[in-house]
């Protein structure tokens, strides 16, 4: 199964454009909860467009088709002792690489190891005109014009259909250790900031009234740094559970991104991630426009509302509309998915 289905995808886009039918780009569906899904959209599936195109472990670069499942990609990388540094959430499913890039979601190591955008080297896209174009490359130093490929990260498929993706990968750490310390929420930020001076710290979160720190690196370095921490050893699954939101009991979450040193939402949060930068709130009624700090995204719940993201400022909204106009002037792809208006 799988293979190069570029021609089929381009044909479907051209047919939809000719008939005036709008398209909903969809891989595994693991991010169906994210953003608004307008009715009456025809599904453009990427699942059959899968497989590894090129993998050069010695150069830490892999190129795959957008419909490739994360489990397949992880297995290939594990065979060479490598991994995706941004730790993409699985959220109870098996996401595709295209969906990982389009959603732009990163796991607990994001402040320390970088985001999806940092690992993305290049993409091949199917445009709203039904043609295939390539941006970026397979090296980090690529200065051939504006880096269009990174515009695809977090765009939720509203600009183009991702066909192929080139990603930077890294060697897996030799050793990891996770330690837990019980404390009140008000105390965690100062302690996290003090530990961030240690290069071995690769994740810091607060869940179940416990501050959990992850140290990664050589056996010697991890042992040295962890030896200075008075915490209790816990399984590393605490961070995969956090990444996949298993701490939530309501299935209705608000993801609030704030300055690390802000106290906003800290006491109310059911979990804190990204070394203090993400506060997870369980609230089904909060008006995103009334938030006094940060940027929020509604996860799960409230399927009837279009506004799932904090409103943009007038200037940012204009930039978003202009970019959409350049890439997809007729609103062919994932209409209203991001902000409900285009």
Q: Which residues of the chain have pLDDT under 70?
A: 1, 138-146, 284-286, 289, 301-304, 340-342
Domains in the chain: ranges and CATH: 6-171+318-327 (3.30.465.10), 175-299 (no CATH)
The per-residue pLDDT for 342 is 65
Residue partners of 98: CB distance under 8 A and separation at least 6: 25, 27, 46, 66, 67, 161, 162, 163, 165
Mean pLDDT over all residues of the chain? 91
Contact 320, 341 (CB under 8 A): no
CB atoms near residue 267 (< 10 Å):
10
- pLDDT single digits (tens) 264-307: 989 999 999 999 999 999 876 667 767 778 899 988 866 667 77
Structure confidence at residue 339 (pLDDT): 80
Q: What is the pLDDT of residue 217?
A: 95
Question: Residue 43, class by beta-carbon neighbours within 10 Å (0-12 exposed, 13-18 middle, 19+ buried)?
Answer: exposed
Query: What is the tens place of the pLDDT at every residue in 118-137?
Result: 999 999 999 999 999 999 87
Predicted TM-score (pTM) of the model is 0.93
In this structure, what token pair is assigned to residue 63?
């190129």
User: Would you say the C-alpha torsion 24, 30, 32, 35 has a positive or negative sign?
Assistant: negative
| Separation between Cα atoms, residue 282 and residue 102, nearest integer Å | 25
pLDDT score for 300: 80
Q: How many CA atoms lie within 13 A of 303 on its CB side?
A: 6
């Amino acid at each position: 199964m799988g293979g190069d289905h570029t021609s089929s995808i381009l044909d479907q886009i051209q047919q939809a454009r000719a008939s005036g039918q709008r398209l909903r780009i969809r891989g595994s569906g693991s991010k169906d909860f994210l953003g608004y899904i307008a009715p009456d959209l025809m599904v453009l599936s990427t699942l059959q467009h899968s497989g590894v195109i090129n993998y050069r472990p010695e150069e830490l670069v892999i190129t795959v088709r957008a419909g490739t499942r994360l489990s397949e990609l992880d297995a290939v990388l594990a065979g060479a002792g490598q991994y995706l540094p941004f730790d993409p959430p699985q959220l109870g499913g098996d996401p595709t690489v295209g969906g990982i890039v389009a959603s732009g979601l990163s796991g607990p190591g994001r402040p320390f190891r970088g985001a999806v955008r940092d690992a993305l080297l290049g993409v091949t896209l199917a445009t709203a005109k039904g043609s295939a174009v390539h941006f970026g490359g397979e090296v980090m130093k690529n200065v051939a014009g504006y880096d269009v490929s990174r515009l695809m990260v977090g765009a939720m498929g509203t600009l183009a259909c991702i066909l192929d993706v080139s990603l930077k990968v890294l060697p897996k750490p030799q050793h990891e250790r996770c330690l837990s310390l019980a404390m009140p929420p008000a105390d965690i930020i100062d302690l996290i900031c003090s530990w961030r001076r240690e290069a071995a710290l690769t994740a810091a979160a607060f869940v179940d009234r416990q501050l959990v720190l992850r140290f990664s690196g050589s056996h010697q370095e991890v042992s040295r740094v962890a030896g200075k921490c008075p915490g209790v050893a816990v399984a590393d699954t605490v961070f995969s559970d956090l990444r996949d939101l298993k701490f939530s009991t309501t299935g209705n979450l608000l993801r609030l991104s704030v300055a690390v040193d802000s106290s906003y939402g800290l006491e109310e949060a059911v979990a804190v991630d990204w070394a203090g930068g993400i506060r997870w709130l369980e609230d089904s009624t909060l008006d995103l426009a009334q938030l006094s700090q940060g940027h929020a995204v509604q996860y799960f719940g409230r399927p009837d509302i279009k506004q799932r993201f904090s409103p943009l400022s007038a200037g940012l909204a204009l930039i978003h509309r202009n970019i959409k106009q350049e890439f997809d002037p007729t609103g062919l792809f994932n209409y209203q998915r991001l902000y409900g208006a285009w």
